[in-house]
Structure 1
Amino acid sequence: MESRCEVGPSTTTTAGGDGKRKSKKKRTTTLYVDLLGDPMSRVRQTPEHVMLVAEYGEKKEMVGVIRACVKMVSRGREPTSHLPAYVKVAYILGLRVSPTHRRLGIGTRLVEQVEAWSLERGAEYAYMATDGSNAASLNLFSRLSYARFRSPAVLVHPVHAHHLSPPSSAATLLRLPPSLAAALYARLLPPSSTEFLPSDLPSLLSHRLTLGSFLALPSPISSPSFSPLSHPLPESFALLSLWDCTRVFRLRVAGAPATARAALALLRALDERAPWMRLPSVRDVFRPFGVYFMYGLRMAGPDGPRLLRSLCRLARNLAVTDEACAAVVAEVGPHDPVRAAVPHWRRFSWDEDVWCMKRIKVDNDDDWIASPPSTDTIFVDPREF
């Protein structure tokens, strides 16, 4: 069923006629997901998770599925006597209904059942994410009292066949051990200034799918024992962590025009045979491919954007060595300063990944949904991408 349900944004191209007959033909490019034989792969990384399926008819045909996980996240506000810094939320993802069984209320029933499961585990809110063009999903959750909450941007940069040139000697890139990275994030991303920061961030940073956390500084380090905790950070720095999605799921693009496929194949072949030309090639996205996800992106100071771009370059170079990876992705708040510094291709990115939220605990007096955002920083958990 997954293979029949598209995910992510879709684009439509229109071909005109020969000038005499105004015939038009629409071709839609869509994105499909492959869970690598593990339907729980996208929620398995969170301790509390569930998958529900819907069966139909006497033969018990599976016609729908939904997944969810429950965790503690920050509200991005100073804690008070009755509102702590963290709140328990449920994240709903992977809602699929077979195209032949839609408009039968199956999606509604699945959402209601997963809300009940989440409420039993103490969740006060439930939220989901979809792209702004997915009218069917937005209409369904709107009918179920979900309100638009946040709209982060998804930034995508394809992986070329060649390595990018290393950053200049004016920057020093450090790989941080998980414990040191967790301590640094605790200093730079306090829960009062960051929304959706998971309370189990140290576990996330040491997870087997986190490829590393990296710090960029503007000048060479003179002391071999330098530590960003025992030494003051310079005015300018950048920080990010990298997650390997290729072992969780694969994506596949379908419906692209033959001319586009041929052009991308030609560009890829030239880049593979002449890497010294450094052509902006794109790996074969018409076959299953994976991505690396950059999370926890932070920068500061006048050189912060340059240093963050150096870290993004490092991430793409790491991805070049992984044949399963075709793109490096980041998702950031719409007004987060790091958005302007992350290299991406506009054609493959989208500005509005709509997050909708609902308060499922009726005796909760918190006004998190109704209040305007108190911070520009949204922590996007790579386990939920």
Structure 2
Amino acid sequence: MGEDQEKMSSEKMMMIRVREFIMEKDLPAVEELERLSGDLAAAAGGGANGKKKNTNKKGISLYVEQIGDPFARIRHAPDHVILVAEFGEEEKVVGVIKACVRMVSRSSSKTTKTMMNKYVKVACLLGLRVSPSHRRQGIATELVRHAESWCTSRGATYATVATTASNAASLSLFRGRFGYAPFRRPLFLGHPVHRHRARLPRHHRVLHLPPPLAAAAYGALLLSPPSPRHDAAAGRAEFVPSDLPSLLAHKLTRGTYLAVERDGVATASFAMVSVYDATRTLSFRVGGATRMLRASLAAARAIDRAAPWLRVPSVPDVFRPFGAYLLYGVHVSGPAGPSLLRTLCRHAHNVARKNPACAVVAADIGPDDPAAAAVPHWPKFSCDEDVWCIKKLNASDDDGGGDGDDEWTAATAPGVLFVDPREF
């Protein structure tokens, strides 16, 4: 019986062919996969379209779907690929996975005053989808195996994947079969955008930094060795992309903003944040809400339309697809830093409200980042279920530490976790 099962398994593998995506040929099939199947790297059970973020608030979930260019989340990386899986003699496309390899900073507890963060080549696997009618056929396994091989051939030392704590199928695939280890637990913090302008404190000043100045500031704050003038987290930021100047000058980055106190020379407090327009690449939707919640939010919108002078912070219809602005590079410093960051989040709200497609301002932040507690958010638009998993692709490779130590894969919390909005 064992030999028969092994033979059947071998025959199934022979029926699966993985190749690179061809836009003219494969786009309709991949779009259909996007519509039919959940993202196996994030959607529990595959029962929902797109990425599902459970908010643990009476069954409410936040769904995230990609729109537009299928290469949008990986095109920024010099090395990127979309792989599709064909099954059977009819060569039907039944699975897809995306991958990119980029240079990012890595954190190290051994970082000293004389050693800056080093950059390593890291692969990002995302967008893994398999047709619901062809699951449990080994297709996801073949896609991940080929994606890892492709990334290794491009010099990637590590591979990462994002999933959720409640997604047993995804964790079983990546942890159980491929040896990925849970790594980071970023918080997704979302806040609704309403049509009324948020008021900024008069004792705070918001400055718009041009991309070159913003890049220099982030370099000093996130990548320079610690010094008496820097926070203790300086030099410990991880996943800061080596092409950060390009990201800051990207057409979808609405701006980088610095908030200071108008008379804050004594405290030397400040906050920084960059705002990315994801309305063209991502679609969000809230599901699982009760009728009472839907009715109450609809009533608030009706009151706001009838009596705008009341300044009711009515929430847009988030039960239909909506867009979002993503905050990245969130940083606070000094005793007044959290208060200044809240001012920046209000400013980002005011920037976002000018875009009718935007209904939420959100950020992915490490739970131990001092900025996390200061970012305004609604629990219904937020979640703490995200799990980043990591794997060293070639155990014989030394990533540049000189001692072969693989401490980066340990669960030690970083100083700052930089989440690239292009890969959200």
Q: TM-score range by the shorter chain?
A: 0.7 to 0.9
1:287 maps onto 2:320 in alignment: yes
CA RMSD across the alignment: 2.5
1:152 to 179, 186, 191: 186
CA distance in 2, matches of 1:354, 1:121: 25
Shift, 1:258, TM fit: 3.8
CA displacement 1:141-192 (0-9 Å, x = unmatched): 1121000011111111111132212x12201100000000011111111163
Partner of 1:225: none
Q: Is the contact between residue 129 and residue 354 of structure 1 (CA under 8 Å) also seen in structure 2? A: yes
Compute the displacement of 1:114 (Å).
Answer: 0.7
SS at match of 1:308: helix
Distance 1:32 1:379, change over 3 A: closer
**Identity across matched positions, percent:** 51
Counterparts of 1:101 and 1:109 in 2: how far apart (Å)?
13
Where does structure 2 lack aligned partners over 5 or more consecutive residues? 1-32, 39-47, 225-234, 398-403
Aligned position for 1:129: 162
2:104 is aligned, of 69, 73, 98, to 73
Structure 1 unpaired stretches of 5+: 15-26, 222-231
What code does the residue aligned with 1:262 have? A
Task: Identify which of 275, 283, 308 aligns with 1:250.
Answer: 283
| TM-score normalised by length of structure 1 | 0.87
User: Of the candidates 76, 82, 90, which is equivalent to residue 123 of structure 2?
Assistant: 90
Is the 2:107–2:117 contact (alpha carbons within 8 Å) kept by the matching residues of 1? no
Partner residue, 1:351: 384
Q: How far, CA to CA, are the matches of 1:156 and 1:309 in structure 2?
A: 13
Q: Specify which of 25, 29, 33 is matched with residue 65 of structure 2.
A: 33
* Residue of structure 2 in register with 1:224 after alignment: none
What corresponds to 2:80 in structure 1?
49
Change in CA separation of 1:302 and 1:82 when aligned onto 2, cut-off 3 Å: closer
Report matched runs for 1:164-313 at 5 Å.
164-165=198-199, 167-190=200-223, 192-219=235-262, 235-313=268-346
Deviates more, 1:85-94 or 1:61-70: 61-70
Q: Which residue of 2 aligns with 1:24?
A: none
Work out whether residues 3 and 32 of structure 1, in 8 Å CA contact, stay in contact via their aligned partners in 2.
no
> What TM-score, normalized to structure 2?
0.79
The aligned residue for residue 226 of structure 1 is none
Deviates more, 1:43-52 or 1:122-131: 43-52
Opposite residue 336 of structure 2, the aligned amino acid is D
2: distance between equivalents of 1:234 and 1:195? 27
List per-residue Cα deviations over 1:190-227 (Å, max 9, x = no partner). Answer: 16311111111111111111110000010069xxxxxx
The offset of 1:265, in angstroms, is: 2.2
2:14 aligned partner: none
CA distance in 2, matches of 1:380, 1:284: 27
Alpha-carbon distance in structure 2 between the residues aligned to 1:138 and 1:323: 37
Residue 253 (structure 1) shift: 3.5
1:381 maps to 420
Taking a change above 3 Å as real, the CA distance of residues 281 and 45 of structure 1, as seen in their structure-2 partners, is: farther
* Alpha-carbon distance in 2 for matches of 1:341, 1:11: 19
Residue 347 of structure 2: which of 314, 317, 323 is its match? 314
For residue 17 of structure 1, what is the aligned residue in structure 2?
A: none
Question: Using the alignment, how far apart are the partners of 2:57 and 2:274 within structure 1?
Answer: 36
Distance 1:101 1:239 in 2: 47
* Offset at residue 13 of structure 1 (A): 8.5
Matched letter for residue 121 of structure 1? R
Mark the CA change 1:13 to 1:234 in structure 2 (over 3 Å): closer, same or farther.
Answer: closer
How many residues were matched structurally?
A: 361
Q: Is the 8 A contact 1:217 1:234 kept in 2?
A: no
